[in-house]
Chains A and B, each alone.
Chain A
Amino acid sequence: MENFNYHRPATVNAAAALLKKSKDGSYMAGGHTLLPTMKQGLAKPTDIIDLSAIKGFSGIAVSKSAVVIKAGTTHMEVATSAAVKKAIPALWEMAGKIGGVHVRNRGTIGGSIANSDPAADYPSACVGLGATIITDKRKIAADAFFTGMFQTALKAGEIITAVSFPIPKKSSHMKFPNPASRYALTGVFVSQDSAGKVRVAVTGAGPKVFRIADMEAALSKDFAASALNGIQVKAKGLNSDMHATAEYRAHLIGVLARRAVAAAK
């Protein structure tokens, strides 16, 4: 791993200023994506701006209509929050399935989302619940946030500060982990809002998180697993690797979506 300048600012503004000043700086939250990438020599930032000491950067607030999770909140904090469990049990469950104990103790929601790993879990919750990503500059709808593999709508230096998840009527998350990495080989997040509108978001199967319009339309009419019968997910464009072919992933999306709908609460 190449050496770098290390900064630990106390405010978001200071962090943004440090990044701007650096030659090729990078923000770091829990470091569980950045540091492994740097160890492999795949990233060589000149500066690391550690966001973990920013005051008020973590915490969970649950209102009647939304769960707002600040960017520096760890997966473990979400996975052990009784308030999240009550408001959006699927989100609570999903956070408990990310990585192992040690990953959950350090990995943060902001870091996960900013990275837009195609196999990460949080992007499916964001898109599957129609969340809003809040940054130091603006609010971005989750649908517009994840723009590609490891790519987001974040502008240079922009910092995620929180994610707001609207509380659905029902939701559910199903994950089929990669047997080696434990990332999602395919994961499906399903939600139904109070108006009956349904979202089906898929992670792990494509270059980025995506929704399946056919399924959403069918489920908006009839929120039952049987409503998905006959809907074939196309393999074209899905990821194919030694762990899963595109055809298999397409098939898994159908299986997981049906199971998610059946389990939604």
Chain B
Amino acid sequence: MSAISMKVNGKAVCGEVESRTLLVDFIRTNLGLTGTHVGCDTSQCGACVVHIGGKAVKSCTTLAVACEGADVTTIEGISKNGALHPMQQAFHEQHGLQCGFCTPGMIMASIDIVKRNGKKVSEEVIRRELSGNICRCTGYHNIVVAVQSAAEKM
């Protein structure tokens, strides 16, 4: 077991983990932040996406020990002072979620997409860049609408 410490959602956290402990397990089990989900075991569904240093990464394909000193943000950490992040608000307003399971990863990935591509991000780019996030409920239609709508407000 190794002791690790990092910043999660702005707070310093530490814990004891095995080398093989994945970041997602550290977040869910050690920190009890269960908003980050596991939807597959082959690194493809995107339900586990969090931000490290502001960039979207798959927490199921990242070792917790490798995040020593990292700045991690999960779905629980993007609302500020009780106000929803524009991306959260847009998913709500545009009905961009149904069962909600893929939603945290979808939102975290979408924030990264908009940050890099700007307010005028095209539908084409959004669809292409969401290729690493699978949703089985919505048919993606309202997700794309939500991302475009949030982009204008971010």
Chain A residues with CB under 8 Å of chain B are 1-6, 8, 31-32, 35-36, 38-40, 48, 50, 52, 76, 80, 99-103, 105-106, 181-182
Contact = CB atoms under 8 A, between A and B. Distances in A.
| Main SS at interface, chain B | mixed
A181 B19 contact: no
Interface of B: 2, 18-20, 22, 41-44, 46, 49, 55-58, 61-63, 65-66, 68, 109, 112-113, 116, 129-133
Contacts of A99: 131-132
B56 A102 contact: yes
B66 A100 contact: no
B66 A102 contact: no
B38 to A, nearest CB: 11
Contacts, number: 81
A106 B48 CA distance: 14
Contacts of A101: 56, 109, 112-113, 129, 132
A240 to B, nearest CB: 22
B49 A35 contact: no
Residue picked from A8, A32, A102, most chain B C-beta under 10 Å: A102
B43 A105 contact: no
Contact of B55 (A2, A35, A39, A105): A105
A35 B133 CA distance: 19
A6 B61 contact: no
10 contacts: A6-B65, A31-B63, A35-B43, A39-B41, A100-B132, A102-B132, A103-B132, A106-B57, A106-B61, A182-B132
Nearest to A97: B128
Contact of B20 (A4, A40, A50, A106): A4
Contacts of B113: 101
A182 B45 CA distance: 12
Nearest to B55: A105
A83 B109 CA distance: 26
A1 B20 contact: yes
Contacts of B61: 31-32, 35-36, 102, 106
A2 B46 CA distance: 23
Contacts of B65: 6, 8
Contacts of A2: 20
A105 B19 contact: no
B19 A5 contact: yes
A102 B112 CA distance: 9
Contacts of B19: 3-6, 48
A76 B55 contact: yes
Contacts of B112: 101, 105
